Amino acid sequence: MTFLWATRGRAWGFRIVGTGGLDDPLATYEAAFDGLTDDDEVWRRTPSGGALRFPDPLSRRDRSGRVIPHDFVVLGDDAHRITSVEEGRRRLWPEVEQTFAAAYDSATPPAARP
């Protein structure tokens, strides 16, 4: 599945850590999540695929006490495989779970990956 992934850790701020292979993933991310800044959970089809957000499955928080969100932009036809937030969480969380667990307590975010 091809996707962008944006999140934050305990000590590092919100950033795109999975680029989906795009040279400039920020524009795609911003277009997908336009108007969704206050939603804790969302699944929405977009022209590029779909926007998915859910809170950290283990309720991990940043140092300010906020529950950490995980935002994904599912690219292309892969978005057709997702029909809800729960379906998206089930499919995408296993793809990033270990990377996030290793980086969560780190002072620096993981290197961006395709």
What pLDDT digit, counting tens, does each position of 34-78 carry? 999 888 999 999 988 999 999 999 999 999 999 999 999 999 999
Task: Work out the average pLDDT over 89-109.
Answer: 96
When the pLDDT of each residue in the chain is averaged and rounded to a whole number, the result is: 95
Q: CB within 8 A of 106, min separation 6: which ones?
A: 9, 11, 12
What pLDDT digit, counting tens, does each position of 1-41 carry? 999 999 999 999 999 999 999 999 999 999 999 999 888 99
Q: Is the dihedral of CA 75, 80, 86, 89 positive or negative?
A: negative
pTM of the complete model: 0.95
Q: CB within 8 A of 25, min separation 6: which ones?
A: 4, 16, 19, 73
